[in-house]
Amino acid sequence: MNLLDALRDRSLLGALPAFADLRSWAQWFTYEKARRGVPLDGRELEDFRRFTGRTAPQAGGYRAGLVLTGRQAGKTRWLATSAAFEAVSATAAPGAFVTFVGQDLRGAQRAAWAYVREVFDLPAFRGEVLRQTQDTIELRSGVTLAVPPLRERKDDLVPLAKFFLGRVRSRGKACATWPCSWTRRRTSSRARAERST
């Protein structure tokens, strides 16, 4: 069973209220299918082409993905749910430490942690939790989940940014990007007037 099957199953991740209507998650399903190397249907292939500029996904999927998205695109919910599922499935090795970075305690980090915990409140996953602290969830499989705030992961940010930028620069389109939505910073007329003087 993969993440997409678990989201479709109303006794597993499909029991989460956020995933009651999967139509609103269609682009995320397409992203996940392309990343995993699962064949895309016609509409999904059109979305893939539009978002990545490629004609078809790479056979076998991608090892990493870069999602360029604005606010309220579902990235925190999707990644938190995905991380929780990966931690309980066979794709995470015992002793692994599944972590993803949240911006701060009030923002994305707190939301991500709430979403991860929501997964383990479901009856199908509740029995997987061995120990839970304020900062971690340890699972029976030996996997530990953590969502540290950025201030605790500052040393990881520059290498991570350089890694993705280097892949994009050196390999052109080898690193698939997926813009789910775009936000534009609007400049006020006052700021434009100040710049022009």
Residue burial 115-147, b: 16+ Cβ < 10 Å; e: rest: bbbbbbebeebeebbeeeeeeebbbebebbbbb
pLDDT score, position 94 = 64
Q: Whole-angstrom Cα distance, residue 54 to residue 48? A: 7
Query: pTM of whole model > 0.75?
Result: no
Q: Give the tokens for residue 59.
A: 């056979």
Residue matched to tokens 């383990």: 120
Q: Domain residue spans in the chain?
A: 3-183
Q: Is 58 exposed, middle or buried (0-12, 13-18, 19+ CB in 10 A)?
A: middle
Residue matched to tokens 């707190």: 110
Handedness of CA 9, 13, 14, 15 (dihedral sign): positive
Q: Assign 3-state DSSP to the chain and report helix, strand, coil percentages, each to 5.
A: 50, 10, 40
* Cβ–Cβ under 8 Å, residues 184 and 77: no
DSSP β-bridge partners for residue 144: 97, 138
Q: Whole-angstrom Cα distance, residue 177 to residue 48? A: 10
* Cβ–Cβ under 8 Å, residues 51 and 45: no
What is the identity of the amino acid at 48? F
pLDDT score, position 193 = 46
Give the tens place of pLDDT for each residue, 123-175.
Answer: 999 999 999 887 788 898 888 887 766 666 667 667 766 766 665 555 444 44
- Render each residue's pLDDT in the chain as its tens digit; 197 residues: 889 999 999 999 999 999 999 999 999 999 999 988 999 999 999 999 998 889 999 999 988 777 777 778 888 899 889 989 988 886 656 666 565 555 555 676 778 888 999 999 999 999 999 998 877 888 988 888 877 666 666 676 677 667 666 655 554 444 444 444 333 333 444 444 444 44
pLDDT score, position 73 = 85
What number of CA atoms fall less than 13 Å from residue 40's CA on the CB side?
27
